[in-house]
Structure 1
Amino acid sequence: MKITVTNKASKWFKNEMGLSDGQSLRFYGKVYGKTPVHDGFSLAMTPDNDTSDAYALTNKDGVNYYVTDSDEWFFKGYDLEIDYDAKHDSPEYNYIENNEL
């Protein structure tokens, strides 16, 4: 799994969530909601600086964005691209199929 964060999304996370260099943001699946690839589950995030059990991790502009081993099930077979949606002033999450089994 690969996580990609666009420049505009990085700026949004820093401005709206107050993230600064050296901090981390964890993405995970939660019950209820819907994504393009899961019915009954949605994507959630929380500031969490413990990246020791990262399944996937990327650093953008000094901030770590990651998924833990325990949430591999939610992302298995997909890369996560995080962009910015100006119309809704929020992140936009795109799940891109990969060859991961």
Structure 2
Amino acid sequence: MKITVSDRASKWFHADMGLEDGRGVRFYGKVYGKTPVHDGFSLALTPDDHPKNPYAVTEKDGITYFVQQGDAWFFKGYDLGIDYDPQIDGPKYDYIENGEL
């Protein structure tokens, strides 16, 4: 699994979440909601500066974005693309099939 963060999304995380260099964001699946690839589950995020046993990790503009091994089930078979959506003034998530089983 790969995580990609656009320049516009990176700016949003810095500005709206108040993140500074050296900080981190953890993505995970939570009960309730819907995504294009899951019914009954939605994507959640939380500030978390210390990845432990990461399944996927990327760094952009001083911020570490990651998914823990325990949340691999939610992302299995997909890469996560993160962009900024001006209509909602927040991040937009794309699940890109990667052929991972």
Q: TM-score range by the shorter chain?
A: over 0.9
The yes-or-no answer on 1:75 pairing with 2:75 is: yes
TM-score relative to the length of structure 2:
0.98
Query: In the alignment, which residue of structure 1 is the partner of 2:64?
Result: 64
TM-score relative to the length of structure 1:
0.98
1:93 CA drift (Å) = 0.2
Taking the aligned partners of 1:52 and 1:28, their CA distance within structure 2 comes to 13
Taking the aligned partners of 1:72 and 1:23, their CA distance within structure 2 comes to 22
Aligned residue runs from structure 1 range 22-37, under 5 A = 22-37=22-37
Taking the aligned partners of 1:35 and 1:62, their CA distance within structure 2 comes to 28
Unaligned runs of 5+ in 1: none
Provide Cα deviations, 1:21-73, integer angstroms capped at 9, x if missing partner: 00000000000000000000000000111212110000000000000000000
Unaligned runs of 5+ in 2: none
Runs of 4+ in 1 over 3 A off after TM superposition: none
Taking the aligned partners of 1:49 and 1:55, their CA distance within structure 2 comes to 15
- Which secondary structure does the structure 2 equivalent of 1:70 belong to? helix
Percent of matched pairs sharing the same residue: 66
- Which secondary structure does the structure 2 equivalent of 1:66 belong to? strand
Query: In the alignment, which residue of structure 2 is the partner of 1:18?
Result: 18
CA RMSD between the two structures: 0.5
Query: In the alignment, which residue of structure 2 is the partner of 1:52?
Result: 52
Taking the aligned partners of 1:87 and 1:96, their CA distance within structure 2 comes to 22
